[in-house]
Amino acid sequence: MLHRILEQRLQKAVRALFPDATTANILVRPCPDPKFGDYQTNALMSVAKERKMNPRQLATDVLAKLDVADLCDKVEIAGAGFLNFRVKATAIAQTLEAAARGEHLFFTKTEKPRTVVVDFSSPNVAKPMHVGHIRSTILGDSLARILRTLGHHVVTDNHIGDWGTQFGKLLIGWKHHLDAAMLQADPISEMERLYKLVNAASENDASILEAARQELVKLQGGDEENLRIWREMIELSQHQFNDIYGRLGVKFDHALGESFYNPWLREVVQELREREIARETEGAIGIFSDGSLPPKEDPFLIQRDGEWQANPCLIQKSDGGFNYATTDLATLKYRLETWHPEEIAYVTDGRQQLHFRQIFAVFNRWHPEAKIKLAHVWFGSILGEDGKPFKTRSGETVKLFELLDEAEERAFKVVSEKNPEVSEAERKEIARVVGIGSVKYADLQQNRQSDYVFSWDKMLSLQGNTAPYLQYAYTRVQSIFRKSGEASLAENQKAKIELIAPEEMSLAKHLLNFGLILEAVAEDYRPNFLCSYLYELAGHFARFYENCPVLKAEKAERDSRLALSALTAHVLKQGLELLGIETVEQM
Ligand code: ARG
């Protein structure tokens, strides 16, 4: 890629001046303002600082050693010591020609592949998957796809909530109130009903709570009957989860639920106690602040009534039961020993921030030697159009299955209005791709840490930053090829690309940035960067297509423009695929 080549030349020039310099951090990035150039580096200023040199002088010295005449029209020193590169049209065209020949699609696989575990989706057994889990599923899947495409070794793991206190109540419900017919018709709803029933009853009746506790102890102690029922509940839930994953096109390498770690929980607590990381507190076991952080950043402190008070991470309850945190610590250890990751990304709701800050801090005290990046990739809530948490009209949490059905139905209407002549089967398929794509894109396009308002009309609109807009843009490019009436792809693989019109040039430069955007997404875990990039790409293409005739142009120009169009289509398709969104050829 062009910026990469510039980077290498620049690093070489710096090393020519200072043979001992470490140059890996010398990067070249697109210029924020095209007025000043195409690419820019600010890295020389840090080199100057390190060497206590005048930055502009250093930039002048580096420039004297820099050989980029084949790629750049000019290189200028600007501001406090920036270098701005103005790239030659021929150099851009050559990069595009290589892409047209299939040598790359504007990104390169990383030279330093990392093993990255992505922990995402992670719904809870016996409960319907709700819209909160959709964000985790969609975000996590897209991040995994992007990391993998960049050449990282990705391990996806669905940390299903299949162990925990809810099973006490569920077991009581199952044993005393089960409606077999309803269980058959809609198992999750029936289990949800049982849970709610027992939960409500236990609020006024302590004996029910105690009975639930005993069922849980029996389950955890290996009671045959309880284990059998528990397994059945998991299996029934798993079926529903799998249906949803099938519809979303999401796959996992592993689905090691919380129960998988049960055999190690006791050991984890014991080890943390022996190492004096954890201690007893009011009959329970917890981990407290070690005072190594300022109170504001310390996850084991909380401000109450103007004072900093202990906020321990509990790993064993006074009744001997274990906590969510205990399981996460055991999970971390298992992942480390099994997959040796350099990085683990947890994709969950923002309300779990404190939990993960504590887990990461405990882990650093427990395994200070482990060199691992632990990241909590958290996200905000989905709101209804009234600005309150997204609910159905009757006030229930919206179920994922119904949401996806509605998306497809609404998309079907849009598609049918636009294309009444297309066969129903085809319209159904387009509606599936557009409907599911819309829901995914509406989610991914947001800054994940903001709450966003769920709006059918917005997400299904053919205008604006939406999935249908991009999917439609893709079909428009494809229609050029249908009209061109030739085996055009093979033709323009060999095409000579000439960038003359300003719209051709802007489109070309935007295509070049695809790889940089993918790297930025992987770095910050933010697929919304890719959404904005694709939206802008569609805009560049629309302006190009409006101002530069393709099929009516003379042979050489036509081939060049067809090649540009084909590259746009490739990037749109691959970009959407990396968001987990399908495309159709006609809409
Ligand atoms: N099951 C949890 C929930 O629904 C999410 C689990 C996230 N992953 C983890 N390792 N804690 O909130």
> Quick check: 486 pLDDT over 80?
no
Beta-bridge partners for 347: 377
Same domain, 76 and 7: yes
Which residue's CA is the closest to the ligand 1 atom numbered 7? 122
Query: Would you place residue 143 in the very low, low, confident or very high pLDDT band (cuts 50, 70, 90)?
Result: very high
Residues 354 and 503 in one domain: no
Q: Specify if 461 maps to a domain.
A: yes
Q: Is the domain of 56 the same as that of 201?
A: no
Strands (E), 443-511: 452-453
Q: How many domains does the chain have?
A: 4
Residue 487 has pLDDT above 70, yes or no: no
Burial of 114 (0-12, 13-18, 19+ CB in 10 A): middle
Q: Is 561 in the pocket of ligand 1 (CB under 6 A)?
A: no
Q: Residue 156's domain is classified under what CATH number?
A: 3.40.50.620
The residue whose CA is least distant from atom 11 of ligand 1 is 328
Does any ligand 1 atom lie closer than 6 A to the CB of residue 119?
yes
For the record, the structure tokens of 443 come out as 């989610």
Q: Which of 344, 379, 414 is the last residue of a domain?
A: 379
Establish if 101 belongs to a structural domain. Answer: no
- Ligand 1 pocket mutation, candidates 352, 356, 357, 397, criterion most atoms within 8 A of CB: 352
Domain co-membership, 271 together with 232? no
Q: Domain boundary at 218, 248, 278, which?
A: 248
Helix (H, G, I), strand (E, B) or coil at 249: coil
Residue 157 lies in a domain: yes
- 136 ligand 1 Cβ < 6 A: no
Q: Check which CATH number belongs to the domain holding 504 and give it.
A: 1.10.730.10
Q: Are residues 175 and 220 in the same domain?
A: yes
Residue 159 near ligand 1, beta carbon < 6 Å: yes
pLDDT(450) > 80: yes
Band of residue 385 on the pLDDT scale cut at 50, 70, 90: confident
In a domain, 434, yes or no: yes
Query: Strands of 343-349's sheet, edge to edge?
Result: 153-157, 115-119, 343-349, 373-379
Atom of ligand 1 nearest to the CA of 324: 11
Nearest CA owner, ligand 1 atom 8? 159
Q: Are residues 262 and 283 in the same domain?
A: yes
pLDDT of residue 164: 83
Same domain, 405 and 360: no
Residues 572 and 434 in one domain: yes
Q: Judge whether residue 302 has pLDDT over 90.
A: yes
User: Is 391 among the domain residues?
Assistant: no
Percent of the chain with pLDDT over 70: 99
Task: Confirm or reject: Cβ of 97 under 6 Å from ligand 1.
Answer: no
- Please tell me whether residues 428 and 561 are part of one structural domain: yes
Query: Of the residues 119, 259, 348, 353, which should be mutated to test ligand 1's pocket, given the most ligand atoms within 8 Å of the CB?
Result: 348
DSSP 519-559: HHHHHHT-THHHHHHHHHHHHHHHHHHHHS-STTS-HHHHH
Predicted local confidence at residue 396, as pLDDT:
80
Q: How many CB atoms lie within 10 A of CB 421?
A: 5
109 domain-assigned:
no
Instruction: Please say if the pLDDT value at position 162 is more than 80.
Output: yes
**Same domain for 155 and 66?**
no
Q: Are residues 188 and 241 in the same domain?
A: yes
Q: Which domain holds residue 407?
A: 400-578
For residue 76, the domain's CATH number is: 3.30.1360.70
For position 319, what pLDDT does the model report? 85
Domain boundary residue, one of 379, 411, 432: 379
Rounded to the nearest angstrom, the distance between the alpha carbon of 255 and the centre of ligand 1 is 12
Domain membership of residue 390 (yes or no) is no
Lowest mean pLDDT: which of 207-216, 237-246, 393-402, 553-562?
393-402
Same-domain pairing of 304 and 373: yes
- Domain contains 105: no
If you measure from the C-alpha of residue 213 to the centroid of ligand 1, how many angstroms do you get, rounded to a whole number? 22
Distance of CA 475 to the CA centre of its chain: 26
Looking at residue 507, its pLDDT comes to 98
Tell me, using a 6 A CB cutoff, whether residue 161 lines ligand 1. Answer: yes
The finding on whether 376 has its CB within 6 A of some atom of ligand 1 is no
**Range in 21-25, 148-152, 362-366, 408-412 the model is least confident about:** 21-25
